[in-house]
Structures are given as structure tokens and as C-alpha cells.
Amino acid sequence: MVKRNPNLAKLQSGYLFPEIEKRKKEFISKNPNAKIISLGIGDTTEPITPRIVKGLSKAVSDLGTKEGYGGYGAEQGLSELREKIAAKLYNGLIQGNEVFVSDGAKPDTGRLQVLFGNKVTIAVQDPSYPVYVDSSVILGQTGNYNEKSTNFDGIEYMKCNPQNDFFPDLANTKRTDLIFFCNPNNPTGAVATKEQLQQLVDFARKNKSIIIYDSAYSQFISDENLPRSIYEVEGAKDVAIEISSFSKSIGFTGVRLGLTIIPNQLKYEDGTQVRKDWNRIMTTIFNGASNIVQHGGLAALDNAGLKEMKQTVSYYLENARIIRKTLEKLGYEIYGGVNSPYIWTRIPGKNSWKAFEEILNQAHIVTTPGVGFGPSGEGFIRFSAFGHREDIKEAVKRIEEHLK
């Protein structure tokens, strides 16, 4: 028989969100009449808007014609879309040929791990999106799991908590090859200022590290003074890769469209362009994002599409405001939910899974336990603001009743 990959055996349990789904199903089997509201996984709920649907459907119809049919496309994405992303989402801060269109930020994270291999060292914000740690474990970069500290001894965990305003203490952070940084942060909803991002870039430049900057939620930044891209910061192109996504801003979680930006000037120690190797990875193990979906992306970036994107984002931000307001009224400590769809809070005296179970049992609301995002998430829970308005209103009623 074939031996199991020992790295997979090191993963602590199932991936966080399927684990939550499992517990939800167990609850439903015991309480079949309960009307569950999910504020757990950040999955979009509102229909795709008309301009974007038109872009998608036109691409489908075109495929049914001789003139409009196309087979394999460029693995890097349609050049028109790459140019439009550079112009409309990045205001020309980057060039079209630095954009690689893909099926999402999560698969790109996995492919970036393949790009860098298993000899690199990594740092992550603690707490952070579990894919960074889990994919590093799968690649074998992480050393062993330490039961006592509930972390991997080969990973540098950069604590982000209310005491440091959710920005890591870089003066006490060990040098690593890669630094994963998610902004706005999933799960805390914290957003770094331009000065903070400059500190991060300066730190990476000094240490000759590469930042993998995840801006999947950047469209939720409504405060004009906050940076939406790492490339707004001086020197970032020498040290940063940015991954991003159309999932949350236009409801493409199931449709799938994302991107990775690798600046032309980002180089390895030996002077090779990182972009050159990424191109090799993408052309070898990826066949390009669906051509239909890319046309949806193109539609999202014209004037009407951008307006719709803004409306979709505003809808979820209003949900976040409603949840925040209720938790505030009840006197909870709350973070995020202003320039982000996630609200981070704690239920005094309860660990994360206990709080998760109680909210599920009493209010029939699914949340996400903070500890699932890293050891510093213990004691916290995350509310997602993705949901129909009527469900959010019902959820806050139940919160007022059960969490007072």
C-alpha cells in the first residue's frame, strides 16, 4: 500500500468551515424545527447584479456561435481583463502584465505554496485565515504541532490582538522568508493604516522577505484614508505579492474569479523574476479561469458594473453596522465590521467553541469560533455580515434576547 503523506497527518482536524458545517448538521438532526441563521462562513447571499449577469450570459451565448466560440484561453487570463484590473481596481499602480487572473484567492494561496516549496519559513498574523497555515502544513514547511501552545513550532505567529490594535509587534518578530498578511483582516475585521503597511514593507525589505498580501476584502474599505492595496506603499513592489478576489464584492463565491499580482521587479536572491516562475506554475498546473466568468469580471469593471459592486458591498456593510449596533448596545467588546464584513467579539468567560455552541443552542445562529483562526483567536467569535437583511434583523433580535 501507499504511505500516507505525513504532512496531512499533521493537520489538526478537518478544515475549519466543514467542521462548523458538521456541528450545524448535528444540531439540526437533534432540532429539526430550528430555524438556523448562518453568520458563520463568509458566503455571499445576494443575487448577482444585472450588468454582471449580462456579461456572463453574453459570454455563454457567444460560445454557442461559430464566431464567438473559443477553446483554451491564456492561462494568465484575458489580456483585456488584466488591463482593466490594473486600471480600475489598482488605478494604474500596477501593469496589466503583472496581473494573473485565476479561479480565486484560496487556490492561488495553495499554488503560491507550490511556487515557494517546502524549504521556506513563514510568518502569519495570529489570528488569520486558516488556509495559510494549513497549506503550509500540507507542503511540509511548518515543523511539528505543539499541543501545549496549540501552534506549529516552525511557524512565526504574529500576535494581533486588542492590546496592539491588531497590528503585529514587528520589532519582536523573527525573520521569515514569507509573511502572510490579510488586510482587511479575516477574521478580526481590523484594517491597517498606510503607516502600518509602510512598517510592514520596510520590515520585509530589511529582512529580504516576501509579503503575500491578501486583499480579498479590500472593496469593503470605505474610509478613503485607508489603503486598499499594498502597492500604495513605497517600496512594496520590491517585496510584495498581492492576491485578491471577486468573490465577496460581486457575489462570485460559487462562480470563482480571483487574481494574483506579481510585480515585474520582485526578484529572488539569484536575480530571477518571481513572476517568471509563477507564469511557469500557472501554465503547468492551471488552465486559466473560465472564459465565461472572466467576461463577468469584465462587466463588473465597467462603470455600471463598478456601481453595482459598490451597492453589493454597501448592502453587506449595512448588515455589519446592524450587528455591531446590537452588540454595542448589549455592552460587548467589538472590533471590525466598519471597513470589513466581519465582526470580532468575545463572550466573557467562555472559550470560542463554548460560545459557538451556546449561541447555536440558544439563538440558533451559526458563528465562527475565533480559535479556529489561530491560538490568539481563543475566547473570540466571529460574526459574518453576509446574509439577507431580513435574516440579519431576525438574528439581532435573537442576539438581544439570548446574549444579554
Least CB distance from residue 172 to ligand MLT, whole Å?
A: 27
- Kindly tell me which of 36 and 170 has the beta carbon lying closer to ligand MLT: 36
Specify the 3-state DSSP secondary structure of 74: coil
Residues between 181 and 200 with contacts to ligand MLT, criterion CB under 6 A: 186
Least CB distance from residue 345 to ligand MLT, whole Å?
A: 16
Our finding on whether 106 is near ligand MLT (CB under 6 A) is yes
Least CB distance from residue 223 to ligand MLT, whole Å?
A: 22
- CA R_g for the chain: 21
d(CA 95, CA 86): 6
Report the amino acid identity of residue 24: K
- Cell numbers representing residue 1 in the block: 500500500
Least CB distance from residue 130 to ligand MLT, whole Å?
A: 8
- Kindly tell me which of 84 and 106 has the beta carbon lying closer to ligand MLT: 106
- The only residue of 38, 42, 228, 250 in contact with ligand MLT, by rule CB under 6 A: 42
Query: Computed from CA positions of residues 126, 128, 133, 136, in that sequence, does the dihedral angle turn out positive or negative?
Result: negative
Specify the 3-state DSSP secondary structure of 176: coil
Our finding on whether 41 is near ligand MLT (CB under 6 A) is yes
Least CB distance from residue 262 to ligand MLT, whole Å?
A: 21
Specify the 3-state DSSP secondary structure of 228: coil
Count residues binding ligand MLT (CB under 6 A): 5
Tell which phi-psi region holds residue 110, choosing left (phi > 0), alpha (psi between -120 and 50) or beta.
alpha
Residue given cell 486598499 in the structure block: 228
Report the amino acid identity of residue 250: I
Q: Helices marked H in 222-332 — which ranges? A: 247-250, 274-285, 291-300, 303-329
Q: Are 245 and 105 in contact (CB under 8 A)?
A: yes
Least CB distance from residue 294 to ligand MLT, whole Å?
A: 20
- Name the closest residue to ligand MLT (Cβ): 42
- Kindly tell me which of 78 and 313 has the beta carbon lying closer to ligand MLT: 313
Query: Can you give the length of the chain in residues?
Result: 404
What backbone torsions phi and psi does residue 174 show, to the nearest 5 degrees?
A: -70, 150
**β partners of residue 312:** none
Our finding on whether 370 is near ligand MLT (CB under 6 A) is no
Going by C-alpha positions, the residue among 387, 404, 401, 251 that lies closest to residue 322 is 387
Cα–Cα distance list, 122 to 129, 146, 174 (Å): 14, 16, 10
Our finding on whether 142 is near ligand MLT (CB under 6 A) is no
CA dihedral 293, 297, 298, 300 (to 10 degrees): 140
Least CB distance from residue 86 to ligand MLT, whole Å?
A: 24
Our finding on whether 346 is near ligand MLT (CB under 6 A) is no
Least CB distance from residue 401 to ligand MLT, whole Å?
A: 25
Judged by the rule CB under 6 A, the positions of this chain that interact with ligand MLT are: 41-42, 106, 129, 186
